[in-house]
Amino acid sequence: MTATHVTLREVALRDGLQIEEPIPTEAKVELLEAIAATGVTEVEATAFVSPSKVPALADAPDFAAELARFPDIAFSALVASPNGARRALDAGLNSIEYVVSAADAHSRANVGRDSAAATAAIPEIAAIAHDANATVEVIIATAWDCPFDGPTPAERVLRIVDAAVESGADRIAVADTIGTTTPGRVTALLDRVRPAIGGLPLGCHFHNTRGTGLASAYAAVLAGVNRLDASVGGVGGCPFAPGASGNIATEDLVYMLRDSGIAVDVDLERAIAAARIAQRLIGRTLPSALLRAGDRLLR
Amino acid sequence: MTATHVTLREVALRDGLQIEEPIPTEAKVELLEAIAATGVTEVEATAFVSPSKVPALADAPDFAAELARFPDIAFSALVASPNGARRALDAGLNSIEYVVSAADAHSRANVGRDSAAATAAIPEIAAIAHDANATVEVIIATAWDCPFDGPTPAERVLRIVDAAVESGADRIAVADTIGTTTPGRVTALLDRVRPAIGGLPLGCHFHNTRGTGLASAYAAVLAGVNRLDASVGGVGGCPFAPGASGNIATEDLVYMLRDSGIAVDVDLERAIAAARIAQRLIGRTLPSALLRAGDRLLR
């Protein structure tokens, strides 16, 4: 049941940058070039959301125009509404992620409506994507805990899973938005989610806020999950989730997986190089462990 | 097979402090008082090794004299030779840890002799301990990797395990001295070690140098290991192993285990408080995640 190969989605450009001071589009292209050099096959490029709420991603259409130069990468963009989905497709994306918070308080803070209302928009967004021959992934945020509501009942997650499956979503992901979950609870939730998704690809998104991100990722892999989000340098956080900080670092995840005998199509040294560029562009020390310690000394 | 209860051994006072500038014995007592308040039942107090090589622990006899004030804690001290074992017992310890490096180069750097020579001293040290009605744990250092020799063949670990068992050692532990191992290799080595130890208690010691410490600890727990070393704040490293840094942090480990449904007799808030004291005494930011992020926000 353990996954033997993991598809890593690089999220530094969206989840990584969204909480930061805006950096120029050209700087994002520089970072994307370094990311592309790692060999990663999937990249979350940006989000088509309110420019006033997420100014760091206000250049989404301009940045999207640069993506055609990287034909080997499958790009996606996050959206939070039907309008955002249309904007992403108009900008040339052919893969969108619609994020729905399982917890009402985070949902309201994030998109101004509760989880049920956000869930109700899944069919419309799926139809918008499919009408444009694009795919849609439903990402379930605060799948384990909400910074306001506390632990999220699994039933709240499963309601969104059911709506996604019924709406013909192409992929599903569960996200530990605030970096509080741990491997035991990862296993427990995945045991509930997996039977509900039929044959759909299932991904996980972890933050390392409490140091448990890699352990949770490993538990997910043991449970058969073969799609994981990570960001070079470990940048990232949710501006509407107090206490969130740091996606799991791409290079740390690659190190752990490969050393554990699980294949992942990302070059480790180039991921560390990309993390170094992210650190320079963002201008502060990033939390990645490999960025500090390097790969194992003798190989 | 997964352990349902973990005994945590607090190693901040030995492995944590040994690489640091020496702090006064009174400061160690202050830290120990905070550690005792966490409810932890086992504490590695100090090491009886060369004061010139490890000046931070040169006060071992003086510090050992303070331990009787903490009758609820089972204290141990690390030794690297028969002479060190005698000094520890003379100082009142009734539990010693004899560390043997599985890799020759680290062994020579650490104690000036190769792994076979260090292994050959196990019977004498076990006899010294048992003659004094004390117990002896054999800790196998560089059990996965050596900073000089690279990956450690499992056979090197198993030779030490066999010698320990034959000598009547009371406990065995395997240590990732330089923080390079990952959960897959933890599982693989434990699969080899466990059948060789009979019914002896088996512990693991991980560093978080490459961010994988908690993931490795979780893999060990899944493999049935119920004894783990950790240090408040994540202090610690080996001065003779370049690149080593940071034990796994007690508070991060406790958070992960308890949240995963695995019992551990350490109070989390008090562990964070002890980490804060360690940070003040050492005078630099410690790598613990919980020390920065706190416990989960709503509980």
User: Is the Cβ–Cβ distance between A210 and B255 less than 8 Å?
Assistant: yes
- For B183, the closest chain A residue by CA position comes to A260
- For B243, the closest chain A residue by CA position comes to A293
User: Is the Cβ–Cβ distance between B24 and B56 less than 8 Å?
Assistant: no
What is the residue range of B55's domain?
Answer: 5-290
Q: What is the longest distance spanned by two Cα atoms in chain A?
A: 54
User: pLDDT per residue over B70-100, tens digit each?
Assistant: 999 999 999 999 999 999 999 999 999 999 9
Q: Taking CB atoms and an 8 Å limit, are B252 and A212 in contact across chains?
A: yes
Query: How many whole angstroms separate alpha carbon A154 and alpha carbon A157?
Result: 5
CATH of residue A30's domain is 3.20.20.70
Please tell me which of the candidates A215, A288, A299 has its beta carbon nearest to residue B218: A215
Interface test with chain B among A245, A296, A298, A299, by most B beta carbons within 10 Å? A296
Tokens in use for B276?
Answer: 């804060």
pLDDT reported for residue A297: 47
- Do the domain assignments include residue A299? no
- Do the domain assignments include residue B258? yes
Query: How many whole angstroms separate alpha carbon B163 and alpha carbon B197?
Result: 10
Higher pLDDT, B237 or A76: A76
Please tell me which of the candidates B150, B218, B296 has its beta carbon nearest to residue A218: B218
What is the length of chain A? 299
Residues of B with CB under 8 A from a CB of A: 145, 147-150, 178-185, 208-212, 214-215, 217-219, 222, 242-243, 245, 249, 252, 255-257, 259-262, 288-290, 293-294, 296-299
How would residue A285 be classed by pLDDT, with cut points 50, 70 and 90? confident
User: Is the Cβ–Cβ distance between A2 and A247 less than 8 Å?
Assistant: no
Higher pLDDT, B265 or A246: B265
- Do the domain assignments include residue B21? yes
- Do the domain assignments include residue A11? yes
pLDDT reported for residue A299: 42
Is B238 considered catalytic here? yes
Selected catalytic residue, list B129, B238, B256, B274: B238
**Does pLDDT of A121 surpass 70?**
yes
Selected catalytic residue, list A139, A238, A249, A277: A238
Across chain B, which has 299 residues, the per-10-residue mean pLDDT values are: 96 92 96 98 97 95 98 98 98 98 96 97 98 98 95 98 98 95 98 96 96 97 98 79 75 97 97 96 89 67
User: How far does B201 lie from chain A, in Å, by closest CA?
Assistant: 24
- Do the domain assignments include residue B298? no
User: How far does A287 lie from chain B, in Å, by closest CA?
Assistant: 10
Q: How many CB pairs under 8 A join A and B?
A: 132
The number of distinct structural domains making up chain B is 1
pLDDT reported for residue A190: 98
Q: Taking CB atoms and an 8 Å limit, are B294 and A243 in contact across chains?
A: yes
Helical H segments across chain A, by residue range:
25-36, 60-64, 82-90, 104-111, 115-120, 122-131, 154-166, 183-193, 213-222, 250-259, 268-282, 290-293
- Do the domain assignments include residue A296? no
Tokens in use for A210?
Answer: 């409490």
Q: How would DSSP label each residue in A74-93?
A: EEEEEESSHHHHHHHHHTT-
pLDDT reported for residue B298: 38
Element (H, E) at B155: helix B154-166
Query: How many whole angstroms separate alpha carbon A257 and alpha carbon A255?
Result: 6
How would residue A236 be classed by pLDDT, with cut points 50, 70 and 90? confident
Please tell me which of the candidates A149, A212, A297 has its beta carbon nearest to residue B214: A212
- For B251, the closest chain A residue by CA position comes to A210
Interface test with chain A among B212, B222, B231, by most A beta carbons within 10 Å? B212
- Do the domain assignments include residue B297? no
- Do the domain assignments include residue A217? yes
Query: How many whole angstroms separate alpha carbon A143 and alpha carbon A231?
Result: 19
pLDDT reported for residue B243: 53
**Average pLDDT along chain A:** 94
**Does pLDDT of A51 surpass 80?**
yes
pLDDT reported for residue B1: 86
The number of helix segments (H) and strand segments (E) in chain A equals 12, 11
Query: How many whole angstroms separate alpha carbon B84 and alpha carbon A205?
Result: 49
Residues of chain B neighbouring A190 (CB-CB closer than 8 A): none
